[in-house]
Amino acid sequence: MPKPDMSLGVNVNVTGSIDGTGKLTATATYSQGTSNPASTGVVDASGDIDLTKMNDQGNNFSNQTDITFMLSGTVTDQSGTSYNVQFPTPVTSAITLQKQNGGNPSSGEFVPSLPTATSLLLDDANSDGQDYNYCLVVEPTGLFATTPTCRLDPNIVNR
């Protein structure tokens, strides 16, 4: 019987502003949510993810990890109106991944999906031993900003 995947929650709290031209500037702070197996120190405040810190001492899980990014926070426009943030669709607009030494992930290495507008699931096959940079993209709910941007590109260190 195959071993179950590990799982990791990543809380992403976004703050930002929209200038008079509609340009969105956003920053994020990250914190670790729940994980299975229970582990600590896997996600740091800058969003770096170190899967070698997943605590699978009994080798009860596969190296595959389901990473769920949970988005929260608001951005404010010039008139002081606040908008909740969400991931844009399609999912390929919401996240980009690149090997740290350059190049795209192998086919099937990372499979993203958007279960909701504020949660992004990244199914990490964790089969190539590569470390990755990722960039999440957000947009204000109910308002189109001309350039939804992500200013942070944290790392994923695979097992």
From 48, 66, 75, select the one nearest 120 (Cα to Cα): 66
Please report, rounded to a whole number, the percentage of residues in the chain having pLDDT higher than 90: 58
pLDDT average, residue stretch 98-107: 84
Q: What is the pLDDT of residues 87-100, one digit of tens each?
A: 999 999 899 988 88
Please tell me the pTM assigned to this model: 0.91
Phi and psi for 7 in degrees, rounded to 5? -135, 150
